[in-house]
């Protein structure tokens, strides 16, 4: 079920730069004594930063599954009365940023599909790299005339594959399909009575388990467990499959683990109050900032962050360098997404929709500006210009990740390689392009050391171009060619 099912809402992002777009967020809960729809709502609310295009919840009362989804933020999609129409003992939820498939209502998740053994609902965080091959498998199993759902996502393909298997139940079907999937995926899915979760063999995207007083929660980040009152148990292992129902929780490995966790989760994607691989993300980002101060020192009067993602690293830079930390840019927290097209006058202001300088703090000072990454360079260029207009004497940009030179095929939509400023320019050329007095990045070695995770267990492809999971050789301008999927752009 859904409101505004035509999916024709305008959903523009203000500002003049498209930075790193987050992976999606997934949440699942089995809890007979709880209002699972509300738990899922608050879990998704905690994961909102991972996707702002659409949100959805599926619940089951043991007899039937109901799905409610729409375009927009979690708080825009659901009302109290909407949640009241979603009864049951188990639920899954999703908040989406699209990496495969266009941003339309039909591609919102969870997906829903009738099968011979009941109904299947599924939500996915990540991005598959063999979606074309999988789509061909679906076409062989199901005549195109019967596949009129119109979705263009790898999520829909996975849902179809599981539903079309000739197995005795969802569990057996999932175990038959999981080895066919290549790329990054953290999944939550359900039939009428059971919650399932699975993680790819490389564990690229995070997935954690939490315990309620009577029930279980699975979520993309540990912060979502905190919000709903679930105690953190552990991470879902790479290559692990979970089955949760009235009989408890069962686990089995469907693949031999080959950990390659996304290093950009530590830099930007995850909430600072989340833990990954036993490490606090906030503490990790502070350590990155300290590494940055050691590797790219400068004489200055004030360290300021580009809020919010640059804040912990700026704290670390200030602590290590001895330069005072201060607030020089004010962020409007409500501009992440709007359904109202800015006027031409407002659009020309660009980044000021999101950030505005505090003149009294920065005027007459040598400023160190700490940000998490540079993608195209437009945001940093605008920030440098704003700070100069506000009276900064010198502006030294420091970045808490190495130069982003390669696109991501595992769930982050940076840009094509041609659009990545660091893929064609050296650091000094980037400095001149953005207009800073100096520019420094943390090294890949420094970043890895700050995570406290061995280098061989991390994916650093966006910095190095060394992709741990095979990607198709047929690339179009640095991005996957998925014309076979995108029937409804």
* 24 belongs to the catalytic site: yes
**Candidate list 24, 408, 459, 462, residue with the active-site label:** 24
The whole-angstrom separation of Cα 141 and Cα 120 is: 17
What DSSP designation does 325 have?
A: B
Contact 110, 56 (CB under 8 A): yes
The residue assigned the tokens 């089951």 is 60
Strands 366-371 vs 231-235: parallel, antiparallel or unpaired: unpaired
Contact 314, 370 (CB under 8 A): yes
The whole-angstrom separation of Cα 358 and Cα 335 is: 18
- Find all residues with CB under 8 Å of 130, minimum gap 6, and list them: 181, 182, 183, 472
- Find all residues with CB under 8 Å of 355, minimum gap 6, and list them: 306, 307, 329, 330, 331, 332, 383, 386
Q: Residue 457 has which token pair?
A: 């267990």
The whole-angstrom separation of Cα 388 and Cα 383 is: 9
Contact 403, 426 (CB under 8 A): no
Strand extents, DSSP E, 259-415: 261-262, 275-276, 279-280, 302-305, 329-331, 355-357, 366-371, 394-399
Angle formed at CA 336 by CA 80 and CA 189, multiple of 5 degrees? 55
Q: Residue 449 has which token pair?
A: 């050391």
Measured CA distances, 82 to 54, 57, 297, 328 (Å): 15, 10, 53, 41
Give me the phi and psi of 364, to 5 degrees please.
Answer: 80, 10
What DSSP designation does 20 have?
A: P
Selection from 184, 234, 259, 207 nearest residue 454 by Cα: 259
Task: Give me the torsion for CA of 214, 216, 222, 225, rounded to 10°.
Answer: -40
Q: Residue 290 has which token pair?
A: 């300290």
What residues act catalytically?
24
């Amino acid at each position: 079920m859904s409101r505004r099912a035509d999916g024709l809402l305008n959903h523009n992002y203000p500002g003049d730069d498209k930075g790193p777009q987050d992976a999606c967020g997934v949440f699942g809960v089995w809890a007979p004594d709880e209002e699972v729809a509300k738990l899922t709502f608050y879990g998704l609310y905690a994961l909102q930063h991972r996707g702002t295009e659409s949100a959805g919840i599926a619940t089951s009362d043991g007899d039937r599954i109901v799905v409610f989804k729409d375009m927009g933020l979690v708080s825009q999609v659901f009302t109290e009365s909407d949640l009241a129409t979603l009864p049951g003992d188990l639920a899954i939820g999703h908040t989406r940023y699209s990496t495969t498939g266009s941003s339309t209502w039909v591609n919102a998740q969870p997906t829903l599909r009738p099968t011979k053994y009941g109904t299947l609902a599924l939500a996915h965080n990540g991005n598959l790299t063999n979606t074309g091959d999988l789509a061909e498998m679906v076409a062989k199993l199901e005549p195109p005339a019967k596949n009129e759902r119109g979705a263009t996502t790898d999520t829909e393909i996975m849902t179809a594959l599981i539903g079309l298997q000739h197995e005795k139940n969802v569990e057996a079907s999932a175990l038959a399909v999981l080895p066919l999937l290549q790329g990054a995926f953290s999944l939550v899915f359900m039939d009428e009575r059971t919650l399932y979760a699975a993680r790819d063999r490389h564990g690229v995207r995070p997935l954690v388990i939490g315990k309620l007083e009577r029930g279980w929660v699975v979520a993309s980040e540990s912060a979502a467990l905190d919000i709903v009152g679930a105690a953190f148990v552990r991470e879902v292992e790479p290559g692990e499959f979970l089955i949760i129902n009235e009989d408890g929780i069962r686990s089995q490995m469907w693949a031999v683990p080959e950990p390659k966790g996304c290093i950009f989760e530590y830099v930007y994607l995850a909430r600072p109050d989340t833990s990954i691989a036993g490490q606090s993300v906030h503490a990790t980002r502070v350590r990155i900032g300290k590494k940055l101060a050691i590797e790219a020192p400068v004489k200055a009067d004030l360290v300021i962050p580009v809020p919010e993602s640059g804040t912990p690293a700026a704290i670390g830079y200030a602590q290590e360098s001895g330069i005072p930390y201060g607030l020089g840019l004010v962020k409007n927290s409500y501009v992440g997404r709007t359904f109202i097209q800015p006027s031409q006058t407002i659009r020309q202001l660009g980044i000021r929709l999101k950030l505005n300088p505090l003149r009294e703090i920065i005027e007459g000072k040598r400023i160190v500006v700490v940000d998490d990454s540079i993608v195209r360079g437009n945001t940093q260029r605008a920030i440098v210009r704003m700070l100069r207009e506000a009276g900064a004497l010198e502006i030294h940009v420091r970045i808490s990740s190495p130069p982003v030179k390669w696109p991501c095929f595992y769930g982050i939509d940076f840009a094509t390689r041609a659009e990545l400023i660091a893929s064609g320019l050296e650091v000094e050329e980037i400095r001149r392009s953005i207009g800073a007095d100096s520019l420094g990045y943390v090294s890949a070695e420094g970043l890895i050391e700050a995570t406290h995770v061995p280098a061989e267990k991390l994916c650093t492809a966006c910095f190095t171009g060394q992709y741990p999971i095979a990607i198709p050789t047929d690339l179009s301008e640095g991005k996957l060619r998925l014309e076979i999927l995108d029937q409804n752009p």
